[in-house]
């Protein structure tokens, strides 16, 4: 299929000229003659590239670029700024506003064609690299204490037993209960990575911080030393660590704890799939609805989110599956039954329940959710 290019220019002659040139090269062309229209078309048409004029009456190209970059659905579209100005300052402003390349008018057709080709090739290479990365499954709680860590650990264990190469990452410095549950006394992996210069972050350095559980599951652990909660969780660093993990394992499960910190927001946007954990009670369900709304605003829509309720204690007053779906306005993908004794036993044995008791009812539920997520991820990958 031809790549689609959105050309934005208030000068109609220039719009036609560039459009014709690129059409001859085999591209599909969409045009806009004003800033607001450009944003609307970028959202509706999802072009592969935008060629953007700077000087326009309603909204200049810098502002258009900034708005496109602020919207999750358009933020990754490459932009070539196109303008009559030749001042260096304007180029800098263009790059700061998010442009990938810069062209000055009048441009030679050959130069235009080669820049367009180069930017599109870079984008294709980036996408190819992303397609080879392992799946990133982000697990986040609607509030603390609902069973997020227990679910993340058992899903990872279930996934690792069907397809080896699963990595479980605990990215909550100072609150890393996962290490304790699995029998690791010292858990310095994440802290070591967060405290080294970003230039030292590479696949080898990240791989060296992984520890192996006796079940074969590989882990990146956070400590439980409270003061480590102050470590700088720079979004680009956390994202970089997870990207390297995705190069080391086919499946990476990350326990995000709770809340939309800048780092969590970044991870959620980059995740292949997100599991929101809650419990069948009114307060957590309302908090879940609020979280789902915020996720939606981040560009993480229903197609990429599964909801799992953990029923930690049986009670006659808990909310039914149907009523919970009504409160959430969404389907629920799974419910984990109470298993208090088994979970305590599993901690004593330093093993996930899934490994300790393969025949338990709760194990079957963890496995079912793991299977559902795998098939959903597979489907969304196929349809792009």
Ligand X SMILES: Nc1ncnc2c1ncn2[C@@H]1O[C@H](COP(=O)(O)OP(=O)(O)O)[C@@H](O)[C@H]1O
Nearest to 298 by CA among 316, 274, 314, 278: 274
Please choose which of ligand X, Mg ion, none residue 332 contacts, taking the beta carbon within 5 to 8 angstroms, the exact cut-off set by kind: none
Give the separation between CA 228 and CA 83, rounded to whole angstroms: 49
Residue 149 interacting with ligand X (CB under 6 A) = yes
Q: What is the Cα 199 distance to its own chain's centre?
A: 22
- Angle at which helix 282-297 crosses helix 321-328, to 10 degrees, equals 40
Contact criterion met (CB below 8 Å) for 219 and 109: no
Please choose which of Mg ion, ligand X, none residue 340 contacts, taking the beta carbon within 5 to 8 angstroms, the exact cut-off set by kind: ligand X
Quick note: the x/- pattern for ligand X over 264-283, rule CB under 6 A, is --------------------
Quick note: the x/- pattern for ligand X over 319-348, rule CB under 6 A, is -----------------x-xxx--x-----
Residue 177 interacting with ligand X (CB under 6 A) = yes
In the list 94, 98, 134, 141, the residue contacting ligand X (rule: CB under 6 A) is 141
Q: Taking the alpha carbons of 280, 284, 290, 294 in that order, is the dihedral positive or negative?
A: negative
User: 112 or 353, CB closer to Mg ion?
Assistant: 353
User: 119 or 158, CB closer to Mg ion?
Assistant: 158
Give the separation between CA 64 and CA 254, rounded to whole angstroms: 35
Contact criterion met (CB below 8 Å) for 373 and 155: yes
Shortest distance, CB of residue 272 to ligand X, whole angstroms?
A: 21
Which residues inside 350-379 make contact with ligand X, applying CB under 6 A?
362
In the list 83, 150, 281, 306, the residue contacting ligand X (rule: CB under 6 A) is 150
Shortest distance, CB of residue 209 to ligand X, whole angstroms?
A: 22
Nearest to 295 by CA among 331, 264, 332, 326: 264
Shortest distance, CB of residue 149 to Mg ion, whole angstroms?
A: 3
Residue 315 interacting with ligand X (CB under 6 A) = no
Quick note: the x/- pattern for Mg ion over 142-171, rule CB under 5 A, is ------xx----------------------
Name beta bridge partners: 309.
278, 335
Residue by residue, DSSP assigns 148-209 as HHHHHHHHHHHHHHHSS-EEEEE--TT--HHHHHTT-S---HHHHHHTS-GGG--HHHHHHT
- Angle at which helix 88-96 crosses helix 61-70, to 10 degrees, equals 20
In the list 47, 94, 147, 352, the residue contacting ligand X (rule: CB under 6 A) is 147
Please choose which of Mg ion, ligand X, none residue 338 contacts, taking the beta carbon within 5 to 8 angstroms, the exact cut-off set by kind: ligand X
User: 50 or 156, CB closer to ligand X?
Assistant: 156
Residue 144 interacting with ligand X (CB under 6 A) = yes
H or E segment at 50?
Answer: strand 49-53
Q: How many residues belong to the site for ligand X (CB under 6 A)?
A: 17
Residue 160 interacting with ligand X (CB under 6 A) = no
Residue 175 interacting with ligand X (CB under 6 A) = no
Give the separation between CA 222 and CA 135, rounded to whole angstroms: 21
Shortest distance, CB of residue 261 to Mg ion, whole angstroms?
A: 14
Nearest to 216 by CA among 78, 351, 79: 351
Instruction: Report CA Rg, the chain.
Output: 24
Q: Is the bond preceding 323 in cis, omega lying within 30 degrees of 0?
A: no
Shortest distance, CB of residue 146 to ligand X, whole angstroms?
A: 4
- Residues in contact with Mg ion by the rule CB under 5 A: 148-149
């Amino acid at each position: 299929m031809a790549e689609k290019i959105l050309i934005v220019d208030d000068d109609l002659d220039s719009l036609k000229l560039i459009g014709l040139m690129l059409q001859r090269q085999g591209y599909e062309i969409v045009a806009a003659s004003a800033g607001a229209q450009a944003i609307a078309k970028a959202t509706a048409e999802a072009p592969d590239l935008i060629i953007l004029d700077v000087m326009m009456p309603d909204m200049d190209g810098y502002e258009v670029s900034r708005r496109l970059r602020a919207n999750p659905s358009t933020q990754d579209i490459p932009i070539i700024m196109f303008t009559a100005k030749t001042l260096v300052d304007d180029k800098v402003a263009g790059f700061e506003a998010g442009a990938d390349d810069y062209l000055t008018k009048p441009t030679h057709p050959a130069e235009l064609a080669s820049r367009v080709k180069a930017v599109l090739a870079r984008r294709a290479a980036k996408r190819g690299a992303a397609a080879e990365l392992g799946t990133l499954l982000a697990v986040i709680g609607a509030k603390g204490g609902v069973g997020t860590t227990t679910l993340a650990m058992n899903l990872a264990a279930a996934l690792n037993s069907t397809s080896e190469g699963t990595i479980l990452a605990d990215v909550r410095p100072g609150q890393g209960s996962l290490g304790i549950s699995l029998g690791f006394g010292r858990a310095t992996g994440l802290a070591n990575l967060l405290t080294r210069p970003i230039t030292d972050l590479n696949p080898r350095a990240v791989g060296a911080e992984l520890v192996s559980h006796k079940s074969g599951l590989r882990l990146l652990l956070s400590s439980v030393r409270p003061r480590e909660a102050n470590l700088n969780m720079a979004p680009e660093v956390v994202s970089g660590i997870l990207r390297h993990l995705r190069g080391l394992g086919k499946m990476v499960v990350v326990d995000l704890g709770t809340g939309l910190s800048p780092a969590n927001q970044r991870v959620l946007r980059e995740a292949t799939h997100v599991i929101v954990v809650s419990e069948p009670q009114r307060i957590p369900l309302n908090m879940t609805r609020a979280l789902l709304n915020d996720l939606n605003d981040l560009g993480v829509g229903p197609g990429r989110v599964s909801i799992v309720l953990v029923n930690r204690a049986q009670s006659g007053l808990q909310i039914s599956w149907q009523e919970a779906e009504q409160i959430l306005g969404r389907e629920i993908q799974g419910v984990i039954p109470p298993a208090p004794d088994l979970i305590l036993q599993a901690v004593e044995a330093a093993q996930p329940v899934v490994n300790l008791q393969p025949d338990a009812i709760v194990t079957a539920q963890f496995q079912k959710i793991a299977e559902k997520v795998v098939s959903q991820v597979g489907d969304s990958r196929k349809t792009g």
